Amino acid sequence: MREKPATVTGYEFDELRSLIESRSGILFDASRERFFSTRVREFVAERGLQGGTDLLRLVSSSNVEYSALLESLLTQETSFFRYPAVFDALAKKILPELQEKKFWDNPRTLRIWSAACSTGEEPYSIAIAVADALPFAEAWRIEILATDISRRALQHAERGVYTGRSLDNLTPQQIENYFTKTRHGYVVKPRIRRMVSFAPMNLTQAVYVGRMDCIFCMNVLMYFAEERRNSVIQRFSECLELGGYFLLGHAESLSSVPVRLEGLVLGDCRIYRKPAKESAVKQAVMAEGSL
């Protein structure tokens, strides 16, 4: 006789949705209903649970089980140089500007944050763009902080071994310069690997990361509810240096976010900058209608 599939009621799905939203910020709305319910049912079956009540009890009482459920629900699609226009803006506008601004600093540091870095392609792309754009990268202290809520994704990132389509946007020259081909795939070379530090971090929890020259936060805030998204962006804006840059994914924008960053259109992308003077930030905060 076939086993009856475990049942999760509408009420239990709602409870799970609100638990996940309150802990991770990720909102599973109607547009992702099918994905959510399928993954939850699979998790219930894998654990041999009776149904939604058992599942709620399990994930509310065990952080390990909660994290395992969350891992199964995360979308981790990414690739090297995912939006070429953004990396063009980094190479042609942001890095030259920072290079000029910091040229006489001692030490000459550059701090970039890849918030929600998934399996590492984004922070390594940033490191490659920096190595390509800065003529004497060794003369700089380059710190690329790469964080994500998913420990599984971070383990992949730390290994730095890549295969398949995620490499498609790299040029043959970049592959040759920055990767070693092995039988497991393309391995990021130490000079790129050294620039990046990986750490687990939940964006909904305020953690002090110091001042950043540039923050990439791509393709994650679109899964957050509006209020939560706004408060995370507010925190990003506070930790940016004056004149620092903020970069979102190409389908995302700050147009309805009450944070005062200047929007600049460069080629095919829109990037955001914190005004270079404190007084301009204050004025912008008072002005209506700015971004």
Ligand X SMILES: C[S@@+](CC[C@H](N)C(=O)[O-])C[C@H]1O[C@@H](n2cnc3c(N)ncnc32)[C@H](O)[C@@H]1O
Residues forming the site for ligand X (CB under 6 A): 24-26, 74-78, 82, 116-118, 122, 148-150, 153, 201-204, 218-220, 249
Coil, strand or helix: which one is 277? coil
Q: Closest distance between ligand X and the C-beta of residue 87, in Å?
A: 12
Per-residue tokens: 212: 């950043």
Helices and strands in the chain, H and E counts: 12, 10
The residue at minimum Cβ distance from ligand X is: 78
Beta strands 240-248 and 141-148 are unpaired
Minimum CB distance to ligand X, residue 59 (Å)? 16
SS3 80: coil
CB of 16 to ligand X, least distance (A): 16
Pick the closer one to ligand X by CB: 37 or 76.
76
C-alpha–C-alpha distance, residues 263 and 272, integer Å: 5
Please, what is the minimum distance in Å from the beta carbon of residue 169 to ligand X? Answer: 11
Structure tokens belonging to residue 63: 């952080």
**What is the DSSP pairing of strand 185-188 with strand 179-182?**
antiparallel
Q: Is 243 helix (H, G, I), strand (E, B) or coil?
A: strand
Please list, in sequence order, all residues whose beta carbon lies within 8 angstroms of the beta carbon of residue 254, skipping any fewer than 6 positions away. Answer: 233, 246, 248, 261, 263, 272, 291
Q: Residue 111: exposed, middle, or buried by beta-carbon count in 10 A (0-12, 13-18, 19+)? A: buried
CB of 65 to ligand X, least distance (A): 17
In whole angstroms, how close is the CB of 88 to ligand X at the nearest point? 16
Closest approach, Cβ 73 to ligand X, in A, equals 9
DSSP string, 195-232: TEEEEE--TTS------EEEEEE-SSGGGB-HHHHHHH
